[in-house]
Amino acid sequence: MAPTVSKRSFAAAALLLKLTAAYLADDGTVVIPGAASYNGLNLVPQMGWDNWNAFGCSVNESLLLDTAQAMVDYGLRDLGYNYVILDDCWSIGRNASGYQVPDPVTFPNGMKYIADHLHSMGLKFGMYSSAGLFTCGKRPGSLGYETQDAEFFAANGVDYLKYDNCFNQGQSGTPKLSFDRYNVMSQALNATGRPIVYSLCNWGDDNPYDWAYTISNAGRMSGDIYDSFNRPDDRCPCTVNPCNWPGFHCSVLNILNKMAPIQSRTMSGYFNDMDMLEVGNGGQTDNEYVTHFSMWAMMSSPLLMGTDVVGLSPANLAIYSNPAVIALNQDPSAAAGSRIWRHECNDTDQYGQCEQSLWMRGLKNGDTVIALINGANSTQTMNASLSDIFLDARTAGTSKPAAQLEEMWDVYDLWANRMSNEEAAAILARNSTTAPAVITANSTSTTRYNTTAMSYADGLKANATALFGKKVGSVPAHGTWTASIPRHSTGLYRLRMAGSGGMGKRDEL
């Protein structure tokens, strides 16, 4: 007979076990020690804005502060976009003590001034450096100066560090070389005692998704994105991971498809960073930007706006502001979606490309999200069968069909409640008579949400209207969801077990 233990001694034993072995949390999820955040930060993907994609080295104090004000006024801060990240080109050198000197022309009041300003607005401040002799823009890098630079960031009230890979003095080429180099800054940041989210930017070099979760909160898994849906480019040669030369000019579909083989390496506290969003930069159609935003959310990539926020168009604000899609990204499951299938097709576009794919992701409350991507050159009817969607449940060690196949599923379209251009235009006009002023936690709005008032995790538990899109149909047991998906677009649907309101079903399966 198994020994019985009191609840208290079981809890103590469980606590001890947490340090060494996987265990079952109160809510029934399996917790793998070491897979949670190494510094307690970034349990769901970071959100915010980074100037690089739209402004490159043309940065200054007013760009940051004007953008921050727009993020507040447009409701973006309250949707969760809370980091304002200053990328490359802010430093002009080091002083006699080895500390970095911000450019006095572009940042006349220094960095603490910006941090204080952002903090007073309820925002956080991110900065950039490189684990090399120089940054990619040939400003001073941090290699050999990790302690001084970490102290500089902490003293200036910085909350986030993006840490690049240029001019690394050959200290790369094996995971160990990269780990050791990036670990020096990790230790230096920890030593400051200030909580600082640490985001690696080594472009997937040396497979950071295999080692970086013990020293950082996120890691880029590809070369630099550029504003194209699927244009092949020799400078971004790899289409799958691992990738020996990550390159740059990587399209949305190139980066997305590289995520398929590494999706299991995303976890609470460490996210595979698919690079900053291009929505708003003009190189893609509205449907393509919907796909880009949907899939970055689906894969738990950081959601970092990479455009001119002040000058956003209504359509692009509507994409960045879709609470039902952001709630997918911020789901406490903190996992990435799986690609179930990908087909090449015949109806090719101007680049000779045509692909279609089905992705799925299980969420914390037992719902399942699916994405049907149509990369064909025309509208296509696409199918997602329950047996495909729940394939992994079926093949987990047994050929028994998945229990989910026996259920009927209600289907919610996560884009059906997209904010109208009129509503977005009123918000952009900062017209307080027409723009919704305060979105309370229990608001019945379908287009607005305020995570400052109620977190996404709590809003999802409470079935907050804005987080679930619109019910558009059902799939019977053993059935198939069929949808008509426009050219270069994505159908993004949340499947909820019929009759359950989608709540608490996971335990029963």
- List the catalytic residues: 164, 224
278 scored as a contact of ligand GAL (CB under 6 A)? no
Q: Select 136 or 439, whichever has its Cβ closest to ligand GAL.
A: 136
**Least Cβ distance, residue 155 to ligand GAL (angstroms):** 23
**Least Cβ distance, residue 409 to ligand GAL (angstroms):** 39
Residue from the set 88, 151, 205, 423 that interacts with ligand GAL by CB under 6 A: 88
**Least Cβ distance, residue 139 to ligand GAL (angstroms):** 9
Residue 355 and residue 262: Cα distance in Å, rounded?
A: 20
Residue 106 and residue 90: Cα distance in Å, rounded?
A: 8
Length of the chain: 509
> Is 290:489 a contact under the CB 8 Å cutoff?
yes
Q: Select 164 or 367, whichever has its Cβ closest to ligand GAL.
A: 164
Q: Select 90 or 213, whichever has its Cβ closest to ligand GAL.
A: 90
| Dihedral in degrees, nearest 10, Cα atoms 432, 442, 328, 392 | -160
Please identify the residue of the shown chain whose CB is closest to the bound ligand GAL.
136
- Interface size with ligand GAL, residues (CB under 6 A): 10
Residue 424, both tokens: 């977005």
Residue 272, both tokens: 């595979």
226 scored as a contact of ligand GAL (CB under 6 A)? no
Q: Where are the beta strands (DSSP E) in 291-367?
A: 303-305, 338-344, 355-362
**Least Cβ distance, residue 128 to ligand GAL (angstroms):** 6
**Least Cβ distance, residue 49 to ligand GAL (angstroms):** 13
Q: Select 220 or 361, whichever has its Cβ closest to ligand GAL.
A: 220
Give the range of 130-138, 249-257, 405-413, 495-503 binding ligand GAL by CB under 6 A: 130-138
Q: Select 117 or 220, whichever has its Cβ closest to ligand GAL.
A: 220
Residue 113 and residue 24: Cα distance in Å, rounded?
A: 45
Give the range of 134-142, 205-213, 265-273, 393-401 binding ligand GAL by CB under 6 A: 134-142
Residue from the set 136, 290, 324, 358 that interacts with ligand GAL by CB under 6 A: 136
Binding mask of the shown chain, residues 16 to 55, with x at each position contacting ligand GAL by CB under 6 A:
------------------------------------x---
Q: Select 164 or 410, whichever has its Cβ closest to ligand GAL.
A: 164
Residue from the set 127, 158, 188, 201 that interacts with ligand GAL by CB under 6 A: 201
206 scored as a contact of ligand GAL (CB under 6 A)? no
Residue 116 and residue 157: Cα distance in Å, rounded?
A: 7
Cα Rg of the chain, angstroms: 23
Dihedral over Cα of 76, 77, 83, 87: its sign: positive
Q: Select 164 or 308, whichever has its Cβ closest to ligand GAL.
A: 164
> Is 162:189 a contact under the CB 8 Å cutoff?
no
249 scored as a contact of ligand GAL (CB under 6 A)? no
**Least Cβ distance, residue 130 to ligand GAL (angstroms):** 8
Residue from the set 73, 92, 137, 232 that interacts with ligand GAL by CB under 6 A: 137
**Least Cβ distance, residue 291 to ligand GAL (angstroms):** 21
Q: Select 168 or 294, whichever has its Cβ closest to ligand GAL.
A: 168
| Dihedral in degrees, nearest 10, Cα atoms 387, 393, 395, 397 | -160
Q: Select 168 or 490, whichever has its Cβ closest to ligand GAL.
A: 168
Pairing of strands 218-220, 271-273: parallel
105 Cβ neighbours under 8 A, 6+ residues apart: none
List own/partner pairs for 415-418 with CB under 8 A and 24 or more apart. 415/290, 415/294, 415/322, 415/324, 415/325, 415/469, 415/492, 416/469, 416/470, 416/472, 417/322, 417/324, 417/446, 417/447, 417/466, 417/469, 417/470, 418/318, 418/319, 418/322, 418/447
Query: Where does residue 461 rank: exposed (0-12), middle (13-18), buried (19+ CB within 10 A)?
Result: middle
Q: Select 146 or 224, whichever has its Cβ closest to ligand GAL.
A: 224
> For 176-201, b where at least 16 C-beta lie within 10 A, e where not — what string?
eebbebbbbbbebbbebebebbbbbb
146 scored as a contact of ligand GAL (CB under 6 A)? no
Give the range of 135-143, 297-305, 320-328, 398-406 binding ligand GAL by CB under 6 A: 135-143
Place of tokens 């104090």: 61
224 scored as a contact of ligand GAL (CB under 6 A)? yes
Residue 323 and residue 419: Cα distance in Å, rounded?
A: 10
Ordered DSSP codes for 260-285: GGGGGG-BTTBEEE---B-TTSSSS-
3-state secondary structure of 179: helix
273 scored as a contact of ligand GAL (CB under 6 A)? no
Give the footprint of ligand GAL on residues 159-198 (CB under 6 A): 164, 166
**Least Cβ distance, residue 137 to ligand GAL (angstroms):** 4
3-state secondary structure of 128: strand
**Least Cβ distance, residue 311 to ligand GAL (angstroms):** 21
**Least Cβ distance, residue 426 to ligand GAL (angstroms):** 33
Interface residues toward ligand GAL, by CB under 6 A: 52, 87-88, 135-137, 164, 166, 201, 224
